[in-house]
Structure 1
């Protein structure tokens, strides 16, 4: 471009000068455009398919990797947003048949179906390429609406992961064909209320089953797992605990069944009361706890640290408003030749039966923290000698039944039991019958009266006997048991009276003899027969 200053020195005509200025400005603008960094290309809206595919790529890689361990295999699952992605579901050919299933572009081994019915599902699977001859290994169907889902579809045989979720399906019909390779089956959130008995019988490789958030009342039948098997039944509010327990016992050699969300999963337990029946919801953790009682019982030790073959069973259910019901355990260690209270009781032990052993002390009630939660202690037919070990224990604050009948108690410390009786109603019971106490005056005056006053708490109060007397404590007579001091006092009074009488008689006899001697002049015959003594001269005149 021409320099403007030089244009003025050359005296260029005004029209030409205007033309030169315009030319220079245009040239300068083009130079600026060439030197300015290029602008980024305009953003073009993209589909969420890539992002979604990236999120689930890790999971699917394990689905497609056949060399991966079965226990590490996760279910193929896509988020709800995939079904709302218009770009994914837009057909390039408007004349092509409409399909409700798509293969993900970044994950060709997976098929996603949305908003299908029983008829459109099979057709859409064919259009998506699931024909049994390709490498499709995972399927996720969302929002399916149908009365029943036919599991006998042959094309399911090639899949390793099947997820049919968030729909409205009432029933699972048919059964998977033989040699089906499914390791993970997810049919959650579908309102399913029934599954045919043999529906899952051919799934030999199944390691993960998700039945959560349906309307099932019984567990489905499946082959006994011979390896770790995981199942989720959360959200089936009508599921029966009995059916869950049967499933827990249905394991093959080396297999185990693991439940997900045990604290949030509930099952129904039927309870029978005196005049009505009730159904209580129990957490799955409590059901598992009951199932593990057999192994917990094997950890109970005796005084020699040897295992004791006790038996454990659910004893009662504790229901507190606003909290899940909890199960308590009853432990039976009766007739096990124990010489002390057993150790390592299972948690939540409510009742302990140690009948028919050789236990002599209850000191463990004060030493072992597990005993403070026991409500019923049945310790009859032992050799317990005293209840003084119970004083100050938390067991005495919480117990409901204490059975010490037929033991070796010699005395009963009434004040220890009175403190517990005074703080509670008549529900607390203590059995003391068959003990042979050492009875004395205090037993007749105090203990007998105490037993009569506490007979609501001591049902067998009339069966407590005396070891040193052939009578029951309740039959003791205070007049017989408290006579020792009164008898000696009476004898002293009698002796004194006799001595006084004898003294009076002696005085009267001496006076009479003296009068006879003065009047008649002779001594009484005892005096005549007696020999003279050296001191007799004092009496002679």
Structure 2
């Protein structure tokens, strides 16, 4: 009997433990219900269509719930009837097919234990409000809802956020959020996403991207206008952002424009600014696809790298004002010279300007090319006055500052040079050679005329004029007798 009582007592003591063990067997670990960083349930997990409550807790995932096919009123009612919005300890929630138009995140402040929040496959136009401070949500999935915009501070209090899925929406910008660390972001299938806004987001936060091969953004064909846009792979944006971070010390590398090549993906061209560094030579190498280079306000003396460095072959704009450059001859035969759009060499040490280097290039009518040469002081001579001055006047459209080019050996602008004064030389006897030749020709003609006249007089009157009669006979006179 005592043995039987002992067994019964032991069973009573172990019953709670068996109950808890059975509960643990019945409920899976929440982490086992979380896939791809977030909690996501199929449509089969939804409450039955006959159920009056549109939300239910899941028997196979502890502290998890799902709501389906709801509007704002039905969602509020479903959370209450499933004991989710009250004292229900829910850490993971998936809402499917919600027609809310506006999602106010302040409505979720009561769910203080919520770690995984998923709202998918619905119709939501915008997200407003602000999550409560110290909200512990680490994963937020708002994919496939057609969301157009977020209020500026909607997500700023999600300090624990590590994964944000905004795929398959209509966003043009990335919402702001505060995060001391990395955030994985999925923005795939947002057809209106602007690359400029992605650049800004990358500056604000350390981002990593999910589904990167299916993510694209819109970039302007030209510099600042979005009249026409092209689709650019997200990898290009990330690469350009990395280039910004890894840009040469004391330089800045910024996206400049979109390069379109037939048969290839569009690429983002880069503008490099290394001005004001007191450098004596051009920087090398340049980042890939550098299209504009600004090295103004340095002490650079030569442009030799344009002919020898392959990283300079894509440059279309060079700004090298206020340097010590003495010659443009290194540009002759370079790729830059045949395809440049802007060449600015103002206030350098140029002493001559070989016009033949630019003549063929500037004569092409494909598009206007600009050359800035003002505040250079050339060594002026007769050729400068006769050739360069005329050339500058004919190229006014291409050389806007042609009136600011001066002479170093005289206080005068090149366009004010007077060839008649500048081309005079010191006179010697050779300057009179033409006069001497003219006089000799006149004397010769006069002599021939006199001989002809004397001959005619002799034939008609039979005697020679006095000067001819006094002349001694010559051996050849018989020819005239």
Report TM bin, short chain.
0.5 to 0.7
**1:337 and 2:278 correspond:** yes
Q: Structure 1 residue 74: deviation in Å?
A: 0.6
How big is each residue's C-alpha offset from its partner over 1:320-350, in whole Å with a ceiling of 9 and x where there is no partner?
A: 9999986654444333211111224444443
Match of 2:208 among 239, 258, 261: 258
- Structure 2 alignment gaps of length 5 or more: 1-27, 439-481
- Residue of structure 1 in register with 2:291 after alignment: 350
Distance 1:173 1:448 in 2: 66
2:322 counterpart of 1:381: yes
SS of the equivalent of 1:143 reads strand
Residues 257 and 270, structure 2, Cα contact 8 Å, conserved in 1: yes
How far off is 1:434 after superposition?
3.6
- Cα 1:140/1:496, change in 2 over 3 Å: closer
Deviation of 1:420 after TM superposition, in Å, equals 1.5
Shift of 1:135: 7.0
> In the alignment, which residue of structure 2 is the partner of 1:161?
116
Once residues 348 and 272 of structure 1 are traced to their aligned partners in structure 2, the CA distance between those partners, rounded to angstroms, is 15
Q: Residue 61 of structure 1 aligns with which residue?
A: 32
1:69-84 superposed matches below 5 A: 74-78=37-41, 82-83=42-43
> Matched residues in 1 for 2:128 and 2:182: separation?
26
Q: 3-state DSSP class of the match of 1:370?
A: helix
Rate the CA distance shift 1:313–1:272 in 2: closer, same or farther, 3 A.
closer
Task: State whether residues 464 and 473 of structure 1, in contact with CA within 8 Å, keep that contact through their aligned partners in structure 2.
Answer: yes
Aligned CA RMSD, in angstroms, stands at 4.6
Shift of 1:165: 0.3
Larger radius of gyration: 1
Instruction: Report the equivalent of 1:360.
Output: 301
Task: Name the residue aligned to 2:161.
Answer: 206
- Please name the residue that 1:372 is paired with: 313
TM-score, normalization by structure 2: 0.67
Query: Partners in 1 of 2:88 and 2:363 — Cα distance?
Result: 80
Unaligned runs of 5+ in 1: 1-56, 65-72, 300-306, 498-541
Q: Deviations over 1:18-67 (max 9, x none)?
A: xxxxxxxxxxxxxxxxxxxxxxxxxxxxxxxxxxxxxxx99952749xxx
2:183 is aligned to 229
The answer to whether the 8 Å contact 1:209/1:232 transfers is: yes
Q: 3-state DSSP class of the match of 1:158?
A: coil
Offset at residue 360 of structure 1 (A): 1.6
Distance 1:471 1:464 in 2: 9
> What's 1:181 paired with?
136
Going from structure 1 to structure 2, the CA distance change for 1:451 and 1:188 (only over 3 Å counts) comes to: same
Encode CA deviations 1:181-224: one digit per residue, 9 max, x unaligned.
321011112233454555435433211122233345665443x2
Name the SS for the 1:397 alignment partner.
Answer: helix
Pick closer, same or farther for the CA change 1:123–1:438 going to 2, 3 Å.
closer
Alpha-carbon spacing, 1:454–1:128, altered in 2? closer, same or farther (3 Å): same
Report SS of the residue matched to 1:146.
strand
Q: What does the per-residue CA deviation read over 1:282-336, in whole Å, with 9 as the maximum and x for residues that have no partner?
A: 7566766776675344x1xxxxxxx4x2345555566899999866544443332
What are the superposed Cα offsets for residues 469-492 of structure 1, whole Å, 9 maximum, x if unpaired?
555444555555556698452367
Hey, what's the Cα distance between the residues in 1 that align with 2:133 and 2:319? 56
Partner of 1:31: none
**TM-score with structure 1 setting the length:** 0.61
Change (3 A) 1:174 1:385: closer
